[in-house]
Structure 1
Amino acid sequence: MKKIFVLDTNVLLQDPNAIYAFEDNEVVIPAIVLEEIDNKKRNADELGRNARQISRMMDGLRCQGRLYEGIDLPSGGSLKVELNHRSFAKLQETFAEGTNDNRILAVALNYHMEEQEKPNPRPVVMVSKDTLVRIKADVLGLTAQDYLTDRIVNMPDMYMGYLTILAHPSVIDEFYTYRYLNVSSLHLAYPLNPHEFVILKDEMGTSKSALLKVNADGKKLEPLFLSNDPIWGIGARNAQQRMALELLLNDEIPIVTLTGKAGTGKTLLTLAAGLMKVEDERKYKKLLIARPVVPMGKDIGYLPGEKEEKLRPWMQPIYDNLEYLFDTKKAGDIEKILAGLGSIQVEALTYIRGRSIPGQFIIIDEAQNLSKHEIKTIVSRVGEGSKIVLLGDPEQIDHPYLDASSNGLTYVVERFKAQNISGHITLERGERSHLAQLAADLL
């Protein structure tokens, strides 16, 4: 049976193409949604871009007929801008305040009540990314659901970058004898991705084990080519950190993604690897470090001073790690060191759009706060001879319209996992301190 889907504003601001995602059903956009989109279209950010895109799309669809009467969509469904079901009278008994959210709910409720009077009523579904709107819809007796089409993967199924496989001890012995294994010798029911790591453990329960990496064509398992020696005073403290360094220091892998909770060492390991490649090996001309300017909590507003002074509060986590690596003793020492080197640049992502960045080691911190469009814009800036590393924790998102399953970092991890130019590792064990690990696990 065909359904009626009433869309909240946040669905369209998250995905302007959402109107085409409901197959042969009827899509209803309350008139108040158009007003909310109009209020966002002057924003100079991702929401503004999406608001302008949906405005252009609606204007193009308007040429096919009157939107308030309904027009056909290529999927076989229809689209309608609703004007005749906006009465607030039935909703006032439960939610008296005439907020925009309540007016959108009123449209869905009026549709629902009208359908119930028909011999074969169609289900009416309220679609919103706002949890409280879905709860309110449920209170009113309406079916409500999140917009799931933009989800890249369910978090439990997210690519980890490594596998633990139980194997017969003879297989492990074969690896140590010949220094490689064919993937086919593991008799797996699924393929392994290029540069994926494998921890082989003895199925008999002994301590025998091996750490291997899938080669670029995905057919062989090879030993890690790096020793476990520290770089810039930083050494791997667990297996996942060693895997991360293997990817970070491999010049044949131009795009690396690292995810993990706070304190797992993502930023510190990446900075150490970047400094080694830029300062010691001179493989890259410059180390470029950037992060999105997305506040956690209330924004602190405009900041005084030159660009560097304005950026310092946002970039402080980067400076903290650099001070640790350079072992500075006094306040202000790190600025003098960076000025003297000239090969390390700390930027906000605001200033990356439109650039071409060849021959550089690029670190994008807090990439989980980027949308799919923003991450595409950034990765497409990478020039010849550059390496880009994307870091973040998909569980710690401050962006109002993103979640763990729909952010740009998760998008890159899932889309690039089968490519032989990329590598990914999920860091799980916190190494900052015992307290930090407990906080990440318990809070």
Structure 2
Amino acid sequence: MDPNARKLFVLDTNVLLHEPLAVYSFKEHDVVVPMTVLEELDQIKDRKRDVSRDARVAIRTLENLLGGATPEEIVAGVPIEARDNQPDVSGSLAIFPDHQIHSPGQSLPGDHNDNLIINAALHLQQTLAPRQVVLVTKDINMRLKAKGAGMELVEDYRTDQLIDDIRFLTTGFRQFEGNFWDKLGECNTEMVGRHTHHKLPRSVLADEPLFTNQYLIDEDSDFCARVAKIDDETVDLIDFGRERLMHLDAWGIRPRNIYQGMALQALLDPDIDMVVLTGPAGCGKTLLAMAAALETVVERNQYEKVIVTRNTPEIAESIGFLPGTEEEKMAPWLAAITDTLEVLHKHDENPTGSMNYIMEKANVQFKSVNFMRGRSIQNSFVILDECQNLTASQIKTIITRMGEGSKLVCSGNLAQIDSNYLTAVTSGLTYIVERFKDFEGSANVFLNGVQRSRLAEFAEERL
């Protein structure tokens, strides 16, 4: 390839923190890491946060690629060896000594690391013209500064994004206008156990994106079904019906709308190993998950215990100063779960006594995400709450802990991300929704509509 046709990508520190193996993502193009980025990684690698692990992985990746090269080769660029899952990588990796450049006429003040990285990109843009030099950063303000300073090409790191806009995220169901059956000619219907199955020609729904365990509903009839199997010729649907779903009961909780009905059906189905619940605040994610957990553990004896965990911001520094056992330390973070238990037992003669009895009967355990690595969780109903603040690798850690006979429920609201390093399209919750949409052992439901109160509903719509 013509050297001038190969782009040169200058990486900011936050790119390597977001994706430590990002240097492999630029295919035939070349990658430059300024010396200032290495210094920032060195400062971050010893912090007591999850981001420090990413910094160490990024440093080890650079060491593996550059460790055997001479200083001259590192500055000129060392070829990046292709990997099994990325065979089309053929560019080079270089370390640029940005602290040695000095061009006061075209540079920003060198009193800030962001400015030093921008200056390095500007210097490379000037000296390597007409070759395209691209500054890659996830910092919006830094992109604006670079543009204002004269950088022609500035981009966000989007290689790991499965969707471009959160509006395109799979909802887990498909709603048809009018009556679903009016769209069909003939179908093959048969009883399989307790369920009615419809086999339809795939051509009838050729224009519809279909996934395994996706729910199908319409506007004008009682129709509600779930996709059981898909092939090139047929679609196998399990017919539930709206009325049946609306009369499901879990620990005294019944659905208030069809979206909650679909979610509760997935939560109570022993053949589904993972359920992902998304939706606005107050749509019933935690309530339905906890009600299904108690129903399946206490009443149906399908699982032995309930494990509740969630992301805990700054947990590595603050959990040690909270009194008590791990469960007691986690209590402030999991107040939403105890609030839900109070709702489920508010009409009991002795609500506090009922809660304590049920927590012991269902063996409800509160665990920190930090202590999940290395475990194998068997025969448990696991609720991962508020997982919009987890990265894809953190959620992978939890999912790979699930052993035989366990069910995992991941819930979160992508509008309430608190992490400085995540957006709605890069959240681990978005990853699992998109990655698992074709997996026969998982289901995803977007709970449309706020059921908490009319005040919460008005606030969700208008604020």
Shared topology, TM-score over 0.5? yes
Work out the CA distance in 2 between the residues paired with 1:40 and 1:15. Answer: 15
Q: Is the 8 A contact 1:134 1:145 kept in 2?
A: yes
| CA–CA distance in structure 2, aligned partners of residues 228 and 34 of structure 1 | 57
Distance 1:171 1:124, change over 3 A: closer
TM-score by length of 2: 0.85
1:92 CA displacement: 8.2
More deviation in 131-140 or 432-441? 432-441
Could you say if the C-alpha distance between residues 339 and 419 of structure 1 is closer, same or farther in structure 2, counting changes exceeding 3 Å? closer
CA distance in 1, matches of 2:104, 2:222: 67
Q: Check conservation: 2:306, 2:362, Cα contact below 8 A.
A: no
- Deviations along 1:12-68, one digit per CA (max 9) or x if unpaired, are 111111112112222111101001111122235432222111211211222144322
Question: Which SS does the other structure have where 2:23 is aligned?
Answer: helix
* 1:176 positional shift: 12
- When structure 1 is superposed on structure 2, of 12-21 and 325-334 the one drifting more is 325-334
**In the alignment, what sits opposite 1:204?**
none
Partner in structure 2 of residue 61 of structure 1: 65
2:76 aligned counterpart, secondary structure: coil
1:283 and 1:377 mapped to 2: Cα distance? 24
Structure 1, residues 244-276: CA drift from partner, whole Å, max 9, x if none?
A: 011000000011111111111111111001110
Distance 1:40 1:335 in 2: 43
Q: Within the alignment, does 1:183 sit opposite 2:200 as a pair? A: yes
Is contact 2:198-2:238 (8 Å) kept?
A: yes
Describe the shift of the 1:318–1:64 C-alpha distance in structure 2 as closer, same or farther (beyond 3 A). Answer: same
Structure 2 residue runs without a partner (length 5+): 82-88, 191-195
Partners in 1 of 2:318 and 2:97 — Cα distance? 40
Once the two structures are overlaid, the 10-residue window that deviates more, 390-399 or 327-336, is 327-336
In structure 2, the partner of 1:83 is 97
| Residue identity matched to 1:162 | F
Unaligned runs of 5+ in 1: 202-206
1:248 paired residue number: 267
Partner SS state of residue 333, structure 2: helix
Q: Residue 109 of structure 2 aligns with which residue?
A: 96
CA distance in 1, matches of 2:105, 2:305: 60
Q: Which amino acid aligns with 1:315?
A: L
Distance of 1:290 and 1:242 partners within structure 2? 24
- Once the two structures are TM-superposed, the CA of residue 145 in structure 1 deviates from its matched residue by 0.8
CA-based RMSD: 2.8
1:182 positional shift:
2.2
Equivalence for 2:163: 153
Shift of 1:377: 1.1
Structure 1 equivalent of residue 214 of structure 2: 196
How has the CA–CA distance of structure 1 residues 115 and 234 changed in structure 2, closer, same or farther, with 3 Å as cutoff? same
1:236 partner letter: P
Q: Which residue of structure 2 aligns with residue 42 of structure 1?
A: 46
Inter-partner Cα distance in structure 1 for 2:394 and 2:279: 21
Q: Cα 1:8–1:442, aligned 2, differ >3 Å: closer, same or farther?
A: farther
Q: Give the % identical residues.
A: 35
| Alpha-carbon separation, structure 2, partners of 1:318 and 1:87 | 55
> What does residue 32 of structure 1 align with?
36
| Residues 123-166 of structure 1 deviation map (CA, whole Å, 9 limit, x = unaligned) | 22111011111111111121211000111223222111111124
Which of 11, 17, 25 is the equivalent residue of 1:13?
17
> Aligned pair in 2 of structure 1 residues 340, 415: CA closer, same or farther (>3 Å)?
closer
Is the CA contact (8 Å cut-off) linking 2:374 and 2:401 kept in structure 1?
Answer: yes
Q: What is residue 363 of structure 2 aligned with on the other side? A: 343
TM-score after normalising by structure 1: 0.89
The correspondence of residues 11-410 of structure 1 with structure 2, limited to 5 A, is: 11-62=15-66, 63-66=68-71, 67-74=74-81, 75-83=89-97, 86-87=100-101, 89-90=103-104, 95-96=108-109, 98-116=111-129, 121-142=130-151, 143-154=153-164, 155-166=166-177, 169-171=181-183, 179-184=196-201, 186-190=204-208, 192-201=210-219, 207-208=220-221, 210-216=223-229, 219-224=235-240, 227-229=245-247, 230-294=249-313, 303-307=321-325, 308-327=327-346, 336-337=356-357, 340-341=360-361, 343-410=363-430
